[in-house]
Structure 1
């Protein structure tokens, strides 16, 4: 065996892998730009004191107090921070849900869906919280509760992906999404679970946005193709 062939093969593999990664990222630029921002803000939180991190997040929280003073600012900045789960956890979820949604809808339509879900769910969930405060079901200090993160937008995108799946399977998928978030709502009965379930309903209501992109993904042929690929490599 030529001793040079080993390094050359590795270099060739690295180049092919690099080109494949660039093609993959270029088809969902919005998703990966967002992930880059989340990686940066996650590192910031990890390298500052808990007290400073809390003050930082308070200024970017979509609670009732901040929404009444700087609604546009906090609606934007609240989606640039991760509320639990860790960056790698959301990296996986973004590749499962946001990447196919952005590829299917296009960046502009995908952005429209996540904004509808994020903004709409925020206002409705905080409206429920305001009602609870005024009727004595929640304390007055709940106006300042931290409320930030990307999960409302993620729930909305998960829901709109219903229309990507072919009709034979989409009903099973949407039933699973509604069951997952519906059970969380029944168990928790807090404003966050209200927000998540609302985001799902708003994502489903984005059918007019998705209508121009007919559903075409069938899990059975996709699983067969994946199995054939693995079998050939094996």
Structure 2
């Protein structure tokens, strides 16, 4: 087979992969653009961009819909490629499994719910003297709440008993961060996990054929081992 034919086959395979999770890859494309923007402007200008798109207490009271949407279009640390990998591990199979609308429902529940609860905790801390008044304007943006919610709903795609092992690891990871950090973002991440688990009704009756059936880590390792030996 010629190199040109191989390239065409690879391109068709990549397109089939992308179009089965359109929401995830549109989101990744937007994140790629916004990440480039931040890299090519001065730090002060970047802070100004992010400040106006932050879901802090001030902007949630002024223009909640605008900042809830715009805050999810920027990456808060980790780099774009890091999130590209995580999106392919968690968002892609979830969108294929639930369908784009239900996947988007999980994303919105986790992002919006965790944002309001975490900022509510921060507001309580301000009102009771545990945080300064300036915390009303703290930067709060990024995609991690939505990602945590999707990571949680993936539990229902894993076969037992491994689903409970995965769930215990997920709760330990975010729970230990909450215990040690106790910041409003730690509250948000743990809340997003709980909200993702609460999205179980969205998973009922969904076929797993589009993702190759329920995920069995042991069977997957065995298949990979057989392929490596042949």
TM-score, normalising length: structure 2: 0.95
1:119 aligns to 2:109 (yes or no): no
1:164·1:214 contact (CA, 8 Å) conserved in 2? no
| Partner residue, 1:225 | 223
Q: 2:126 aligns with which of 120, 133, 142?
A: 133
CA shift, 1:214, in A, is 6.0
Does 2:175 correspond to 1:177? no
- Kindly indicate whether residue 188 of structure 2 is the aligned counterpart of residue 190 of structure 1: no
Match of 2:89 among 86, 96, 100: 96
- 1:6-45 superposed matches below 5 A: 9-45=2-38
Aligned: 1:168 with 2:166: no
String of CA shifts for 1:50-103, please: whole Å, max 9, x gaps.
111111101100000000100000000000000000000000100111011111
How far the C-alpha of 1:211 sits from its partner, in A, is 1.5
1:120-158, CA deviations, whole angstroms, 9 ceiling, x for partnerless residues?
A: 000000000000000000000000000000000000000
C-alpha distance in 2 between matches for 1:214 and 1:103:
10
Give, in whole Å, the separation in 2 of the partners of 1:181 and 1:147. 18
User: Which whole-Å CA distance do the structure 2 matches of 1:106 and 1:173 have between them?
Assistant: 23
Match of 1:105 in 2: 98
Q: Deviations over 1:173-208 (max 9, x none)?
A: 100100000000011000000000000000000000
User: What corresponds to 1:3 in structure 2?
Assistant: none
Cα 1:172–1:214 change in 2 (3 A) is: farther
The offset of 1:230, in angstroms, is 3.7
Residue 61 of structure 2 corresponds to 68
Identify the residue that residue 4 of structure 1 maps to in structure 2: none
Question: 1:15 offset after TM fit, Å?
Answer: 1.5
Q: What is the alpha-carbon root mean square deviation over aligned residues?
A: 1.2
For structure 1, the residue ranges without an aligned partner over 5 or more in a row are 1-7
Give the drift of 1:224: 2.1
CA distance in 2, matches of 1:75, 1:224: 43
Are 1:143 and 2:141 matched, yes or no?
no
